[in-house]
């Protein structure tokens, strides 16, 4: 560094600080029993890891079941629950921890599973004190409203639900922010003024709510939203890239990270990105071993490592994977 003192230029040598790169430390396939396993989420609860996902014959159009796995260390996994219903496609389970310390699972249900034609589509929740015994599934919101992921903040649950008309082709999606004190009764906060808005993940920077919003249709580029309490007034900026199955997380040093599906190197892959919130930029940082039918990550920061669940068909059929990642 060059400093000026009394007209003289001084050169000050600063110590070099080694910054570790983003690096994949380990990835392992943790479940591959069904013909198709997909749409994951991951959480650390009561000193154990829980991973949930859908099992079925294919991506959609059949009777999907929701599996919950448990592990003490992320290496050895066993099944602790299987939720299923005749001729219903249960899918996209997501996990959170309620303020009173229960595990909460939300998901979507398509009736009939064949969707030919689709007669009902709704969101549901259930709860567990230990991740093994679950309450019965309870419907939430209205028909054709899909609450995709929940984030708790100051004893209130927030989530983005998207709705559609099953008779409309092509479908036109609309999303809104909802909130709840108990995870069962939900109130609309505000409609999002975004065309084609579908899956979204929420996180908080202090009291500012951050939304990473997927879009399907034209246009289909992801959006980054910000809002201050009471979260009724939103500013949106275009990230310029399609991003499927989005999830985001804020590291202890303030860095933001996002994971989802992108067309990367000419094919669909699950990618971890730096999310530059102030610059509105989604910058790929690490491509996970993936391809084909892939994405829907769950993200957990623990012991200075990022743990990520995701699914991929790059090894032959859609299976569940767990990765450990070093962040700088």
Q: Can you tell me the distance from the alpha carbon of 224 to that of 163, in angstroms, rounded to the nearest whole number?
A: 19
**Residue 11: what pLDDT?**
37
Unique residue bearing structure tokens 């919950």: 68
Alpha carbon dihedral 98, 255, 40, 308, in 10-degree steps, equals: -110
Residue 57 has pLDDT above 50, yes or no: yes
Q: Can you tell me the distance from the alpha carbon of 87 to that of 218, in angstroms, rounded to the nearest whole number?
A: 32
pLDDT, tens digit (0-9, with 9 covering 90-100), for 253-282: 999 999 999 997 789 999 999 999 999 999
Phi-psi region of 17 (alpha: psi -120 to 50; beta: other; left: phi over 0): beta
pTM reported for the whole predicted model:
0.93
Please compute the mean of the pLDDT values over residues 71-84 and round it to a whole number.
97
In sequence order, the 6+-apart residues with CB closer than 8 A to the CB of 44 are 50, 300, 302, 307
The values of phi and psi at residue 230, to 5°, are: -90, 25
pLDDT, tens digit (0-9, with 9 covering 90-100), for 114-169: 999 999 999 999 999 999 999 999 999 999 999 999 999 999 999 999 999 888 88
In sequence order, the 6+-apart residues with CB closer than 8 A to the CB of 200 are 148, 149, 160, 162, 175, 211, 212, 213, 214, 246
Domains (range + CATH), the chain? 24-326 (2.120.10.10)
Closest CA to 51 of 305, 312, 309, 272: 309
Q: Where are the alpha helices (DSSP H) in the chain?
A: none
């Amino acid at each position: 560094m060059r400093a000026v003192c009394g007209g003289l230029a001084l050169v000050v040598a600063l110590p070099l600080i080694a910054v570790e790169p983003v690096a994949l430390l380990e990835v392992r396939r943790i479940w591959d029993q069904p013909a198709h396993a997909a749409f994951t989420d991951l959480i650390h609860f009561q000193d154990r890891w829980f991973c949930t996902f859908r099992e079925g014959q294919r991506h959609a159009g059949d009777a999907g079941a929701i599996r919950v796995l448990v592990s003490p260390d992320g290496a050895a996994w066993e099944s602790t629950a299987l939720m299923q219903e005749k001729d219903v496609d249960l899918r996209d389970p997501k996990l959170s921890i309620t303020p009173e310390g229960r595990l909460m699972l939300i998901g979507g249900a398509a009736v009939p599973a064949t969707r030919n034609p689709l007669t009902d589509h709704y969101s549901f929740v259930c709860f567990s004190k230990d991740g093994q015994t679950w309450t019965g599934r309870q419907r939430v919101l209205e028909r054709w409203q899909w609450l995709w992921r929940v984030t708790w903040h100051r004893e209130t649950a927030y989530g983005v639900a998207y709705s559609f008309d099953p008779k409309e082709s092509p479908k036109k999606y609309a999303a809104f922010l909802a909130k709840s004190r108990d995870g069962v009764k939900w109130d609309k906060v505000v409609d999002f003024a975004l065309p084609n808005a579908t899956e979204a993940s929420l996180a908080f920077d202090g009291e500012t709510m951050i939304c990473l919003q997927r879009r399907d249709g034209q246009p289909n580029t992801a959006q980054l939203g910000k809002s201050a309490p009471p979260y009724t007034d939103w500013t949106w900026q275009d990230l310029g890239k399609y991003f499927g199955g989005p999830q985001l997380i804020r590291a202890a040093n303030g860095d933001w990270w996002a994971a989802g599906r992108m067309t990367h190197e000419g094919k669909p892959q699950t990618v971890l990105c730096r999310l530059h919130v102030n610059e509105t930029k989604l910058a790929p940082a690490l491509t996970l071993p993936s391809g084909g039918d892939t994405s829907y990550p769950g993200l957990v920061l623990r012991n200075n490592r990022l743990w990520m669940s995701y699914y991929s068909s790059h090894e032959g059929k859609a299976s569940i994977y767990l990765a450990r990642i070093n962040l700088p």
